[in-house]
Amino acid sequence: MTVHVPDRFLSGVIEGFYGPPWSRGERLELLEWMSRWGLDTYFYGPKDDLKCRAIWRESYEPAETEALAEMIGGCQARQIRFVHALSPGLDIRYSDPGELEHLQRRFGQMLALGCQDFSLLFDDIPDQMDPADLGRWGTLAAAQCHVANEMFLWVRQRSPDARFLFCPTPYCGRMAASGLGGPGYLDNLGRELLPGIDVFWTGPEIISAEITVEHVREVAARLRRKPLIWDNLHANDYDGHRFYCGPYSGRAPELRGEIAGILSNPNTEFPLNQVPLHTLAKFVHSRRDWDPRRAYLEAMEEWLPSFATIGVPLALEDLILFGDCYYLPYEDGASGAGLYEMVRRLLAQDPADWGPQADEFRRLATRLRTFCMRLTELSNRPLFHALHRRVWELREELDLLDRYVVLKSASGNPNASFDFHLPGTYRGGMVARLQRLLVPAPDGGFVPARMTVNPGAQTQPNR
């Protein structure tokens, strides 16, 4: 079996999240980062650009085309590939020839602006088909391949060197294993999709802690081409309480030889992406001695000037401690993990046995709380605004823990309580109450809160 190998490894950034699209100024700053760090592809497909997804048949208005033309020109001036994406899967009628005409008109508008590279996305859609489409094509994969192949040939006639990217409906291992898209979806895709089309893949999971060489080789065998990694490692649009400023991690340098490229779909808030994207670039250009933590520390040092304040400068070690609390989805940074473990052990002991441990925790918590409070002094206001909600939450939790430790250390009364916030004002609201009804189980599922979760054992009810 022949596996199609693309001519050029793609590396860069996807603006493809759910949430407010980046501003003109943020996109131009992104291009400067990419040019400086050696990333070569910018992918435009924000879910909340209505004309990329919800109303994909509608053309851009003059003001919109002006902004897109500026971005395309900015990419070309820096030798960065601009990829324009459409997501027609929510309501496309695969058996209607008029739908191809809509796609051609939309891509034609972008060609006229100077765009040369395109993508069709069929992610995050129902895997059900209209009866007419099912009767015509038989499977979802066949219908999508027909549309993608026709559009690929149409684009290549007008842009012979174009890269054409495709996102399948099951785009990770878990989705494929669950049968999303119908039986044999990926194998059908591999057989029917033209070889020159790149296929996105996020790894074993939507947000993959690790992507191994063995995993992508298995996927490549089914797709009959090296997958193009759409990496959600730093994406945060699924959880508004978190962001991720840790390093690009969980992927060995050997992976680069098994894939068509890596495009990162990062934090929705643009100012929070400097370290994630800088370390991605370091990974792409690294040798085999890749060390994510070292790359992170170097990138944090380069991020520090963005934290200039109107007062006394913030310390690098405090920025690292803060960043380690917002590291990666499945991993805290070293100092953040140390802080959590310190508190966990402290609360597991009798307060009478705390001794100097309580003082050590209070010193570290005070240091972190002070850093959080001083972020209000940032000269870079967009950065502060991107951090503000999360920082406030961290401060509140540290304040609660500190008050608890002070009270228990002083009173000697294990049942003593203290005033903090009135019920309903702190950790309150409908969402917070709903979150307390189900608790995580060790296998990644959830169980009712009345059940006790014991790692390594079956879930048992409280008695």
Catalytic residues: 124
Q: Which two tokens stand for residue 49?
A: 């650009």
Q: 19 — alpha (psi -120 to 50), left (phi > 0) or beta?
A: left
* Cβ 39 vs Cβ 13: under 8 Å: yes
In terms of Cα–Cα distance, which of 137, 142, 48, 56 is closest to 100? 56
Which residues on adjacent β-strands are paired with residue 204? none
* Cβ 106 vs Cβ 50: under 8 Å: no
CA distance 263 to 43: 8
- Cα–Cα distance list, 412 to 52, 294, 354, 362, 416 (Å): 61, 44, 11, 18, 8
Long-range (24+ apart) CB contacts under 8 A made by 366-370 are: 366/402, 367/318, 367/321, 368/318, 368/321, 368/322, 368/325, 368/339, 368/394, 368/398, 369/395, 369/398, 369/399, 369/402
Dihedral pair phi/psi, residue 436, rounded to 5°: -85, -5
* Cβ 229 vs Cβ 263: under 8 Å: yes
How many CB atoms are closer than 10 A to CB 184?
14
How many CB atoms are closer than 10 A to CB 95?
16
Q: Which two tokens stand for residue 312?
A: 């006394």
Q: At what angle do helices 356-374 and 334-347 cross, to 10 degrees?
A: 130
